[in-house]
Amino acid sequence: AQTVTQSQPEMSVQEAETVTLSCTYDTSESDYYLFWYKQPPSRQMILVIRQEAYKQQNATENRFSVNFQKAAKSFSLKISDSQLGDAAMYFCAHGGATNKLIFGTGTLLAVQP
Amino acid sequence: GAVVSQHPSWVICKSGTSVKIECRSLDFQATTMFWYRQFPKQSLMLMATSNEGSKATYEQGVEKDKFLINHASLTLSTLTVTSAHPEDSSFYICSASPGQGAGTGELFFGEGSRLTVL
């Protein structure tokens, strides 16, 4: 069975600073995807970044990047130049061949002005 | 990007009644849709996988007779909460994968539906 663990229930960062959100996972699948989703107060799930497990290169999307350590089953999200609009709940998720996602418990990120 | 729409976004019902929530893929065909449930300040828990033209696959612990799922077309899946009780109050979210998207990690989320059972 797949599991996703986020050990940081809450994090805080100063505006313009960098913050890293942690995620570890366990899976029995050889081909899978890892995701970071942002959920603002509107509750709409917004895809932040996606990583294919077969790719060694870490995914990046503008100010968002990941540190994917496959052997350690670690998938952390780094947010650079944090902005007030980045404040939200962030979920790490694992997806396999069926596209069903298993989510971590989430990290609530606060951005201080 | 692709759009998935849920309706209603918010519903209040009396205990004992049934409520239907719709999930539509507006600009692509979705052979597979997923239903999640999210309690306040908690994570999304997968309830079931909805397959077009066949029975849904439910996750362990989810009551099939309580949460009826129908995926009658390639663009519509419905979740019916039968004989709703206050403990069924939650936020229900669907996601959908394009027909060719299996195994690609490509899926899209609806806006969610908040159910309150009085």
pLDDT tens per residue across span A24-40: 999 988 889 999 999 99
Instruction: Convert the pLDDT of each residue in A88-111 to its tens digit.
Output: 999 999 998 777 899 999 999 999
- pLDDT the model gives residue B6: 96
A37, A43, A54: best to mutate for the B interface, most B CBs within 10 A: A43
CA separation, residue B44 to residues A6, A18, B83 (Å): 13, 27, 23
CB spacing of A101 vs B109 below 8 angstroms: no
Min distance A113 CA to chain B CA atoms (Å): 24
Among A8, A55, A66, A99, the residue to mutate for chain B (most B Cβ within 10 A): A99
**Residue A8 CA, distance from chain mean position:** 12
How many other CB atoms sit within 10 Å of the CB of residue A59? Answer: 19
- Other beta carbons within 10 angstroms of residue B61's beta carbon come to 7
* Lowest model confidence (mean pLDDT) among A21-25, A89-93, B29-33: B29-33
A42 or A65: which leads in pLDDT: A65
The single residue listed with the structure tokens 């077009």 is B52
Between A and B, how many CB-CB pairs are < 8 A?
58
Question: What is the structure's pLDDT at B104?
Answer: 63
Nearest to A23 by CA among A4, A51, A48: A4
